[in-house]
Amino acid sequence: MSGDTQSLVFADKEELRKELKLADPAHIDADPAVDADLDAQADALVGRLVDIAADDHDGQTQAKAAVETMGIQLQKDAARRSQMLQQPVKKLADQSGDGGQVANALVDLKVQVEELDPAKFDLEAGWLSRVVGYLPGIGTPLKRYFTRYEAASTVIDAVMNSLKEGQDQLKRDNITLADDQKQMRALGHKLERAVKLGELIDRKLQDRIATELVSDDPRTVFIQEELLFPLRQRIQDLQQQLLVNQQGFLTIEMIVRNNKELIRGVNRALNVTVSALQVAVTLALALANQKIVLEKVQAVTKTTEALIAGTAERLKTQGAEIHKQAASTALDLDVLRQSFVNIRAALDDVSRYRQEALPKMAENIVEMDRMAAESEQTIQRMEGAAASARDFPIEIVD
């Protein structure tokens, strides 16, 4: 999860009880001023119970049965509702807990994101990494990281699909649970009113005994032993049933709220976590490429600086030599003077050689003319012999 999002907060049952202001079944206090309708109903019932004659066995039997079954149908409805919800609520509680599909998918996503966190990888290639990176199947640290990212992307996609499916299921569960919770809450209010009615009847019976009946009156014994005792048992039973109802209501409320937290967690995972991972990976790639370019620019800059420094050094040395050379005589006069002497001597030698060679060359020309005439005569004789041979051929016949 990103740092600017809140962590998932799961509901606590005791805090929920306080927040929802659920009455403590053991300390429900009926107030006649607040519950005027119940007070009037209790007055009517107590009047009928007290007016039953000591010898009216049918009336006493009906009175005992009425007290012993006070709120029994309401209790049965509440018990049946609790029993119907027992298995679904347990299953839903497991799904919204640590072992549920959404919770497990969130954990899997967290693990994958942490494993792909670019901050945990050294994406820079040192000299050893660059050398090893040329080997087949290895590559540079950056390439290895993105290969790992591509491989994990399939897992992340599967986790994301699981999260979406789980989120949809949680929404459907909350719709179902909201209706069940509404019915349980209505039953809880009825049970609470039944407890208050029982307490009002109990209180008014005791008041009537204290103000209207004497201790040895058979009706007093009947009320104390046959009515008050089972009445208080029924009040306790209804209190216990109310407690069970409240536990079921609180359990459903916890599941609904936890589901809502998980739904929000899935939204953050879909909209924030994966996007943050993609941004981190993109930035890691951009920063790695940026660093590569920066290193190359720095290398080129250093090379350029070295070239400029070398050129400046050569200019300094060569410039000094040029100025030194410019300050001195360009050619040595003695050497130049001797060169001219040698050139004149060479020209004199060539002129003398030509004059001496002319008579010899004339003699050679005459001699070569004579030799050419002799060679011409020899060639003519050979050509005549070849013509005679054609007239008289000598060949080997097979």
pLDDT tens column, 52-74: 888 899 999 999 999 999 989 98
* Mean pLDDT score, 143-159: 64
pLDDT for position 136: 44
Question: Quick check: 46 and 208 in contact, CB under 8 A?
Answer: yes
Between residues 358 and 149, the one the model is more confident about:
358
Between residues 260 and 151, the one the model is more confident about:
260
Question: Quick check: 100 and 260 in contact, CB under 8 A?
Answer: no
pLDDT for position 2: 42
Rg (CA), the chain: 61
Report which DSSP code applies to 7: P
Please determine, for residue 143, whether its predicted confidence score (pLDDT) is greater than 50: yes
Compute how many other C-beta atoms are within 10 angstroms of the C-beta atom of residue 220. 18
Please determine, for residue 131, whether its predicted confidence score (pLDDT) is greater than 70: no
pLDDT for position 118: 59
**Polymer length in residues for the chain:** 398
Report the candidate in 160, 186, 150, 373 with the shortest Cα–Cα distance to residue 272. Answer: 160
pLDDT for position 150: 60
Question: Quick check: 202 and 235 in contact, CB under 8 A?
Answer: yes
Question: Quick check: 273 and 117 in contact, CB under 8 A?
Answer: no
Select the highest-mean-pLDDT range: 94-108, 285-299, 339-353.
Answer: 339-353
Please determine, for residue 375, whether its predicted confidence score (pLDDT) is greater than 50: yes
Question: Quick check: 81 and 187 in contact, CB under 8 A?
Answer: yes
* Mean pLDDT score, 99-126: 59
Mean pLDDT of the chain: 75
pTM summary value: 0.55
**Could you read off the pLDDT of 190-243 as tens digits, one per residue?**
999 999 999 999 999 999 988 888 777 888 989 988 999 999 999 999 999 888
Longest dimension (CA), the chain: 195
Please determine, for residue 35, whether its predicted confidence score (pLDDT) is greater than 50: yes
* Mean pLDDT score, 238-258: 86
Q: Is the dihedral of CA 257, 258, 260, 261 positive or negative?
A: positive
CA pair distance 46, 203, nearest whole angstrom: 10
Report which DSSP code applies to 298: H
**Could you read off the pLDDT of 262-288 as tens digits, one per residue?**
888 888 877 877 677 667 666 666 766
**Could you read off the pLDDT of 328-346 as tens digits, one per residue?**
655 667 777 787 788 888 8
- In degrees, to the nearest 5, what angle opens at C-alpha 113 toward C-alphas 5 and 172? 60
Please determine, for residue 41, whether its predicted confidence score (pLDDT) is greater than 60: yes
Which residues lie closer than 8 Å to 366 by C-beta, 6 or more apart? none
pLDDT for position 228: 93
**Could you read off the pLDDT of 3-28 as tens digits, one per residue?**
444 555 555 666 666 677 676 776 67
Residue keyed to tokens 């459907």:
172
pLDDT band for position 372 (50/70/90)? confident
